[in-house]
Amino acid sequence: MSLYLFALLIGVVAGLRAMTAPAAVAWGAHLGLIPLEGTPLAWLGGTIATWTFTALAVLELVGDQLPKTPSRKVPVQFGTRLLSGAFCGAAVCIASDAWIAGAVLGAIGAVVGTLGGADVRGRLAKAFGRDLPAGLLEDVVAVGGAALVVSAL
């Protein structure tokens, strides 16, 4: 049951930051916290995948703060978050042969993270009088949440 919760939560992270979730899952696999050995996703724990997803996550964290970055709710951005959530949810559950349920829950979490994150960030930006503090706070929640999910597996 808890794996399903973790699949949902890593999906929420993907909804907040699309590349933070796969970077966290890659690190979890790399450090042996997520058992992917002997599965089709074993490559995710390798050095190349881990550092590639980490670089993409850092670039996303920087790019998200730029004023010209498109809304997370436009089709390409939303779709990327859904795929990221489904992929990461499947990775969390694949060792238990529950990857389909993990993918579905990860995608549901991504919807929650995308829409909920946009709403909360908008409210915080209004309260702060500008977007940057709200965006940075969202970054902390996404990275911290990803670390908590992966470390709890």
pLDDT tens track for 27-53: 999 999 999 999 999 999 999 999 999
Residue 143 pLDDT > 70: yes
Within its chain, how far is the Cα of 69 from the centroid?
18
Taking all residues of the chain, what is their mean pLDDT, rounded to a whole number?
96
pLDDT band at 1 (very low <50, low <70, confident <90, very high): low
For the record, the structure tokens of 8 come out as: 């949902």
| Cα 78 to Cα 15: distance, rounded to the nearest angstrom | 8
Predicted TM-score (pTM) of this structure: 0.94
Residue 3 pLDDT > 80: yes
- In the numeric block, the tokens 């074993």 are attached to 42
Q: Can you give 2-29 as a three-state secondary structure string?
A: HHHHHHHHHHHHHHHCCCHHHHHHHHHH
pLDDT band at 68 (very low <50, low <70, confident <90, very high): confident
